[in-house]
Amino acid sequence: MPNTAFLGTGFFVPPLVVTNEDLTRWMDTSDEWIRERTGILERRWISPDGELTGARMACRAAEAALEEAGKGPQDIDAIILATLSPDHSFPGTSAFLQAELGLPGVPALDVRTQCTGFLYGLSIADAWIRVGQYRTVLLVGVEIQSTGLDLSTEGRDMAVLFGDGAGAVLLGATEEEGRGVLSTHLHADGRHAKDLWCDVSSSIKRPRIAPEDVASKRVFPRMNGREVFRNAVARMPEVLIEGLEANGLAVEDLDLLIAHQANARISEGVQRKLGIPAERVHNNIHRYGNTTAASIPIALAEAVREGKVREGALLGLVAFGSGFTWASAVLRW
């Protein structure tokens, strides 16, 4: 059975930088509060000119991953795209990405597990490659959060956290033993579905979205921040250790940890629980905020570009988010 290797990584973020100071134009907040509670200094948002879509950002990230791999779109056998903010209700953004890449006939699948979407997608891609169904899979995480945020003071707990962007990896079958994806572990607990969710638009309502939904702000995401925080700090170390133990490995064996960039305080909590030194962790939340499904592939592509991922390195990827869902992947680069 082949293993799943990382052939290339890439990312794209919109050029528009939104600083904490910029946010004070819309809501009662401060650079100091945001820095202290979240570690975020700035994030990227798409501009209102309509130039960038999720599919276009995904395409730019995919092109960078293809370039790094020395491959072209024609080498892609299947596409998986993770997002909680699809460009349209249907079809999925993966269909639009497939069209942008010019790949009619190639299967395109959307994954909807929010912050863990990239890791759920990785698990699916890995299974496809291992059973021999596809040899080369493009996996993208993309998010446009900025258009769905309540920018008034009422929505400030959520609005300051999120950013837009895309990250991609090109995955390919390798016959080399012990290389690539060593394991993925996935979990969910739907009892917490409404602790971090967006109610409307909703297909159980007629119409699915109405002016009163905008007035009552049901169109904006809502979060039980403390519950999310508490669970994130507990579940991420747990599922990473589950992954490491399944491979007969321990935290000390890890060369690099990339955790979903939810909040710097969450990442610090995870790091402390695992007892892993800061130099073996890659964080970028200060630059991009929380880009949900895009956060891990953006951080991974960045770490590769900064020379932090050497051949043979052991990597741990871990995420927690809406659902609740949580997941880990252990990789040998």
Across the chain, where does the E strand assignment appear? 3-12, 17-19, 42-44, 78-82, 108-111, 136-143, 165-174, 180-188, 196-197, 222-223, 256-259, 314-321, 325-332
Closest residue to ligand UT7, judged by C-beta, is 225
Smallest gap from residue 294 Cβ to ligand UT7 (A): 12
Please, are residues 333 and 298 in contact by the beta-carbon 8 Å criterion? Answer: no
DSSP string, 267-284: HHHHHHHHT--GGGB---
What type of residue sits at position 36?
E
d(CA 115, CA 84): 8
- Taking the least distance from each CB to ligand UT7, the nearer of 192 and 280 is 192
Q: Which is nearer to ligand UT7, 4 or 291 (CB)?
A: 291
User: Is 115 part of the annotated catalytic residue set?
Assistant: yes
Active-site annotation holder among 115, 185, 231, 282: 115
Kindly state the tokens that stand for 295: 């956060």
Please state the closest distance from residue 82 (CB atom) to ligand UT7, in A. 13
Taking the CA atoms of the chain, what radius of gyration do you get in angstroms?
19
Nearer to ligand UT7, 68 or 150 (CB): 150
Measure the CA–CA gap between 142 and 54, rounded to whole angstroms: 6
Q: Please, which residues have CB within 8 angstroms of residue 45's CB and are 6 or more apart in sequence? A: 14, 16, 18, 146, 163, 164
CB of 60 to ligand UT7, least distance (A): 23
Least distance from ligand UT7 to the Cβ atom of residue 234, Å: 13
Query: Considering 20, 231, 260, 263, which one is annotated as catalytic?
Result: 260
Q: Closer to ligand UT7 by CB, 53 or 290: give it.
A: 290
Kindly state the helix (H) or strand (E) to which residue 57 belongs, with its residue range: helix 54-69
- The distance of closest approach from Cβ of residue 321 to ligand UT7 in the complex, given in angstroms and rounded to an integer, is 4
Which CB atom, from 36 or from 252, has the smaller least distance to ligand UT7?
A: 36
Q: Tally Cβ neighbours within 10 Å of residue 127.
A: 13
The answer to whether 260 is a known catalytic residue is yes
Q: How far is the CB of 112 from ligand UT7 (least distance, A)?
A: 15
Measured CA to CA, the distance from residue 305 to residue 208 in angstroms comes to 43
Check if 247 is active-site: no
Closer of 228 and 256 to ligand UT7 (Cβ): 228
In the complex, the residues that contact ligand UT7 under the rule CB under 6 A are: 29, 33-34, 37-38, 115, 156-157, 160-161, 223, 225-226, 228-229, 262-263, 266, 290, 321
Q: Which lies closer to ligand UT7 via its Cβ, residue 87 or residue 150?
A: 150
As given in the structure block, the two tokens for residue 137 are 């899979």
From first CA to last CA, the distance across the chain in angstroms is 18
Contacts from 242-248 at CB under 8 Å and sequence distance 24+?
A: 242/185, 242/328, 243/182, 243/183, 243/184, 243/185, 243/316, 243/328, 243/329, 243/330, 244/316, 244/330, 246/183, 246/185, 246/330, 247/182, 247/183, 247/330
The residues annotated with a catalytic role in the active site are 115, 260, 290
